[in-house]
Amino acid sequence: MKKTRYRKTFKVEMRTTCKMCGKELPNAKFRTFCSKECRNRSYNIKQAESGYSTDWAKAKRDKIASVPDENKCQCLICGKWYVQVGSHVRQVHGMTAREYREYFDLEVKRGTTPKWFRKMKGDQALKNGTYKNLDIGAKYRFKKGQKGVGKYERSPITLERLSKLYKLKKS
C-alpha cells in the first residue's frame, strides 16, 4: 500500500500498452511506445498538427528552388528555379502562365520549362496522340499582333515593378 502512494506522488505514467498502437510494451525499456516505428509515427503526427512540418517542407522547397539548375528555368519574378515556372507563377505570384510568358517573352527569349521537360512532354504527346488536340487548339491560340485576345492591361505600378525586377535579374 505504501509503495503505491509513493509512486503516485511522482506522477509517473505507468503504461503497459503502446500509446500509438495499443500493443503490449515488450519490456521495461519501452515506457510509452512499443517500437521505434510507433514513436516516430506519434512524433510525425505531432509535427503535422503543430504546422511546423509544412513550414519546414516549404523552407526546404524554397532552398532547393534557390539553387541554379540547368535542368530548370528561372522565374523572372522571384529568381528561383523551377521545372515548371508556369505553375509556379500561378501558385506563388498569382499570375497565369500566359500572362507571365507574354510579359517576359516580349523582352527575353526564355521558356517556362527546360528543354528536356518539353522534349519529354513532346514525346509523350506523340505517343498518346495528344498532338492531334494541338491542332484543334491552334485556332484559338494567340498570334502576335492579334487584337483583343491575350492582351492584358497592367497598371503602371505593376509595369514599373516588373521592369525593375527584370533589370535586377539582368545585372
Residues at the interface with Zn ion (CB under 5 A): 18, 20-21, 23, 34, 38, 75, 77-78
CA 74 to chain centre: 15
Which residues, including other chains, have CB under 8 Å from residue 65's CB and lie 6 or more apart? 80, 81, 82
* Closer to Zn ion by Cβ: residue 53 or 169: 169
Q: Is 82 helix (H, G, I), strand (E, B) or coil?
A: strand
* Closer to Zn ion by Cβ: residue 32 or 125: 32
Contact 102, 152 (CB under 8 A): yes
* Closer to Zn ion by Cβ: residue 43 or 52: 43
CA distance 116 to 119: 5
Helix-helix angle 36-50:52-65, to 10 degrees: 80
CA distance 93 to 117: 22
* Closer to Zn ion by Cβ: residue 77 or 162: 77
* Closer to Zn ion by Cβ: residue 92 or 125: 92
Other residues' Cβ atoms within 10 Å of the Cβ of residue 77: 20
